[in-house]
Amino acid sequence: MPINSFDHYPMSWKPMKDSLSRPLYLSIADLLESDIANGSLSPGTKLPPQRELADFLDINFTTITRAYKICEKKGLIYAVTGRGTFVSPNATRSTTISKEAKFHDIDLAFGASFEQTNGMIIETIQKVSSKSYLDKLLTYNDPTGMPHHKAAAIDWMKPIKIQATTDQLAIVSGAQNALTIALSSLFEPGNRIATDFFTYANFIQLAKMFHIQLIPIQDDELGMSAIDLDKKCSKTNIHGIFLMPSCCNPTTHMIADKRKIELAKIIKKHRLILIEDDIHASFTAEVNPDYKQPMFNLIPDQTVYIYSASKTICSGLRVAYMIFGETFIEKITQGLYNINTKTSSLDVEIISELIFSGKAQGVYKQKKSLLETANKIYNEYFPYTKDGRNPISYFRWLPINSQKNGLQVENDLKKQQVHVFHSDRFISGGQSSDDQYLRISLSATKSFEELKVGLERLKEFFEG
């Protein structure tokens, strides 16, 4: 019987040989996932080289490669060429962005949308409740939206210059619901989607749920790099791309019109499906002189465009609009029906009434005014730099210096009764980043005075 010289060799991970079963690669992947979940392997731990682990277990090298690949697709580990394989920063916790702040905390984390404007729509809700056709708003009919609801949607999106018809439109229950429908309808487990290195945390969680691997792409001040996207697509079979052109969540970067054209060429070349989440488009179209059109107009046959009413009108009514190329109509409609059956026509009627009456424009202007004030306050504590970032975003991307990981930073600030989200939550491809940031929400506090207190505590925390 051969003597395995690795039995007493120091290794960061030694799976129990007796617990392995066939197929071995699945068993090893399960053990690795279990040891990450129970804390035996902490985030950032460097795993044994594949050949070394294969020698230790007396098995084939390719078996370890297959096991590592499974865990990499799940976002549990990541590889850095020339350095090795590591446990991902968020492998042991959910990155989902939700309302977590306690009552007495200053909430600089949750992406609210100035809920104090909701009082402006109460009269419209009362008006809708007295309409003669109220009963027709309570049925399963018109699963993609009633005709006048779709007409209101097209009217509301005129400022962003999207070129679409009501046949290409479906009304859904918010942007998160739209993302779920797009992923379930157009992608399969094992598919790959290109994203910004830092991207929307709840999209990362959705990708995990659907077993879709996210491929991070480099960027610069103009947005995602078309050159790096082309390079990654040429080396790897990538099926789709997720972009937030008007205001990337969390970095607040806007994609320049020149870069949109460059990216569109690469997306068309590699036949990618583009998911364009554009919930900040209205504000961006006003403040960015470079804004010309959404990417949907450049490649409509390959794009699913998402525009939510949450940030511009009301978040609680959960209304968003999906616009898509004709090739996607059947699949999106089927997916919508399988997930929702339909969106509440009552909620959509309220939004549509606000649009047709002109009151939605009043709500929008009030939110924009609040946004401008909140960003001005933030700039007093952390001066704004014009590097392609949205100047009136609902959140800001604050660079920080810390030797601690994201969870430690968040917990330390909770002790100061300030709730924030660290950039670790937004890493799309698993691997760590040398740069650290906080995403600072500007619209979740009860008042601007509370916002000032929270920003003051942040400044003292990192400067003191």
Look-up of token digits 């990654």: 232
Closest by Cα among 395, 419, 72, 372 to 211? 72
CATH class of 136-356: alpha beta
Tens digits of pLDDT across the chain (464 residues):
344 555 566 789 998 888 889 999 999 999 999 888 877 888 888 999 999 999 999 999 999 999 999 988 888 888 877 889 988 877 766 666 555 555 568 999 988 899 899 999 999 999 999 999 999 999 999 999 999 999 999 999 999 999 999 999 999 999 999 999 999 999 998 899 999 999 999 999 999 889 898 999 999 999 999 999 999 999 999 999 999 999 999 999 999 999 999 999 999 999 999 999 999 999 999 988 889 999 999 999 999 999 999 999 999 999 999 999 999 999 999 999 999 989 999 999 999 999 999 999 999 999 999 999 999 999 999 987 667 899 999 999 999 998 888 888 999 999 999 999 999 999 997 677 889 999 999 999 989 999 999 999 999 998 87
Residue type, 256: A
Domain with CATH 3.90.1150.10 in the chain: 106-116+361-463
Residue type, 385: T
pTM (two decimals):
0.84
Residue type, 407: L
CATH number of the domain at 17-87, please?
1.10.10.10
| Cα–Cα distance measured from residue 87 to residue 33, given in angstroms and rounded to the nearest whole number | 10
Domain with CATH 1.10.10.10 in the chain: 17-87
Q: What is the topology classification, in CATH, of domain 106-116+361-463?
A: Aspartate Aminotransferase, domain 1 (3.90.1150)
Query: How many residues in total does the chain contain?
Result: 464
Please state, in angstroms and as integers, the Cα–Cα distance from residue 375 to each residue in 186, 244, 309, 346, 392, following that order: 37, 20, 21, 34, 6
